């Protein structure tokens, strides 16, 4: 864990190293994934069957390729009432938030008499990767599947590994609640390839979303262009900006909420009180020791955790936050709005001492699939727009072509494209 102060003479060098650190896949992962993608593209079902047996210990022919809708419905009905109510609440809030994101078609005629506009349509089919094992989270399924259904996607396909045949009943329950159409018992880069290229059994999709390990993320990166993707997600991140009026135990829990995801996750605290930073560090040690996930959280905190002390929390804190462009930013201060007004780059922002990042992971409504690795500088969290595309249109009559056509002819001739110019010119009087 690193300790930094903006007053340190080597602060800029050390902070720049944190900003530029890449905790993502290396060249070896890229080569392995490239080979897997080619095997699925060429070998189809046979390659998918072999790789699933190799990596998951699941025989697709004996144990089944697909999980049927009846199994998902049964899993949902078998939930304890409180857990079912929690899933229902999460789904309803996520659905309401994303319904408000639906874009509106445009159709208007401008002063030149030209009809202009755009229409939005959902993609025909979307694929959703749902991790298995330790990272099998029903909340992630809801966060990915519900926006797709709100967008109007007719065919929503889930791929999820079932190690040694084991299925996650909570994931099945969430799939029922979200209205998933197909669930295939395959995972890893090979499952992403099957969604992109299609096999004899699994039909291809148009967009692939969902979290996964480094191999899944690299597969999505390499397949972008064959299909659309949500983003190339790296390890989880949380940045907490907190003053000394905050409870150190609360802040420690917030930092560990991301550290427990993965050994390469990163948790950063920015404060203007060095004593408070020490209190949080002590609280992290105590809290981490009590977690069932303590091994992962401890490794993440020890290797990538940062305590950063500034002199001016509002000015310096937000400036450094904009350089980090973190996935999650918590503002545990008296006037979170003042800090929020200065933030330009963040995946999602959590305002005030009673807004832990974890509530956003489950029931708040905004999507928890967010850009990592400083990509919040240029990208946004998952939304209905990831499952839709816009088609522009225009319509001219003789009069409106007469108004704007001569300019098109002039520009085409200037660019040395005579056929472009002629296609307009022949219509002009």
Give the whole-angstrom CA distance, residue 345 versus residue 322: 5
Which string of DSSP letters, residue by residue, matches 325-370?
T-SEEEEESS-HHHHHTT----SEEEESTT--HHHHHHTSSS----
The secondary structure of residue 377, as a DSSP letter, is G
The secondary structure of residue 227, as a DSSP letter, is B
Cα distances (angstroms) measured from residue 366 to each of 31, 95, 135, 271, 369? 35, 9, 20, 27, 9
Beta bridge partners of residue 183, listed in sequence order:
158
SS3 category, 271: strand
The Cα diameter of the chain in Å comes to: 83
Per the annotation, the verdict on 328 as an active-site residue is yes
SS3 category, 49: helix
Q: Which residue among the candidates 58, 98, 176, 328 is catalytic per the annotation?
A: 328
Q: Which residue among the candidates 327, 330, 357, 368 is catalytic per the annotation?
A: 327
- Is the torsion defined by CA of 50, 52, 58, 63 positive or negative? negative
Per the annotation, the verdict on 311 as an active-site residue is no
| Catalytic residue annotation | 327-328
């Amino acid at each position: 864990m690193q300790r930094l102060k903006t007053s340190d003479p080597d602060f800029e060098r050390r902070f720049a190293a944190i900003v530029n650190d890449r905790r993502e896949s290396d060249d070896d992962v890229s080569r392995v994934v490239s080979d897997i993608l080619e095997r699925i593209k060429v070998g189809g079902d046979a390659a998918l069957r072999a790789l699933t047996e190799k990596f998951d210990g699941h025989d697709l022919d004996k144990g089944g390729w697909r999980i049927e809708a009846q199994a998902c419905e049964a899993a949902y009905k078998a939930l304890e009432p409180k857990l079912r109510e929690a899933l229902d609440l999460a789904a309803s809030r996520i659905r309401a938030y994303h319904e408000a994101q639906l874009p509106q078609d445009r159709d208007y005629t401008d002063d030149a008499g030209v009809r202009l506009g755009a229409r939005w349509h959902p993609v025909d089919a979307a694929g959703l990767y749902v991790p298995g094992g330790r990272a099998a989270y029903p909340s992630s399924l809801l966060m990915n599947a519900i926006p797709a259904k709100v967008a109007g996607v007719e065919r929503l396909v889930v791929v999820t590994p079932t190690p040694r045949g084991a299925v996650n009943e909570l994931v099945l329950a969430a799939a029922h609640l979200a209205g998933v159409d197909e669930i295939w018992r395959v995972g890893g880069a090979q499952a992403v390839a099957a969604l992109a290229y299609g096999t004899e059994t699994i039909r291809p999709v148009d967009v692939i979303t969902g979290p996964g390990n480094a191999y899944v993320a690299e597969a999505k990166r390499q397949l972008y262009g064959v299909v659309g993707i949500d983003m190339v997600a790296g390890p989880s991140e949380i940045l907490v900006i907190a003053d000394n009026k905050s409870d150190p135990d609360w802040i420690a829990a917030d930092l560990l909420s991301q550290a427990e995801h993965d050994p390469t996750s990163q948790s950063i605290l920015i404060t203007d009180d060095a004593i408070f930073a020490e209190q949080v560090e002590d609280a992290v040690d105590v809290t981490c020791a009590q977690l069932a996930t303590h091994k992962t959280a401890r490794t993440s905190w020890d290797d990538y955790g940062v305590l950063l002390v500034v002199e001016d929390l509002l000015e310096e804190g937000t400036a450094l936050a904009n350089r980090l462009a973190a996935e999650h930013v918590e503002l545990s201060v008296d006037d979170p709005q003042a800090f929020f007004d200065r933030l330009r780059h963040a995946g999602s922002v959590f305002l005030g001492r009673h807004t832990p990042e974890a509530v956003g992971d489950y029931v708040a409504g905004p999507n928890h699939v967010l850009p990592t690795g400083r990509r919040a500088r240029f990208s946004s969290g998952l939304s209905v727009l990831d499952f839709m595309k816009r088609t522009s249109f225009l319509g001219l009559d003789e009069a409106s072509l007469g108004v704007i056509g001569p300019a098109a002819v002039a520009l085409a001739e200037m660019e040395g494209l005579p056929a472009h110019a002629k296609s307009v010119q022949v219509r002009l009087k």
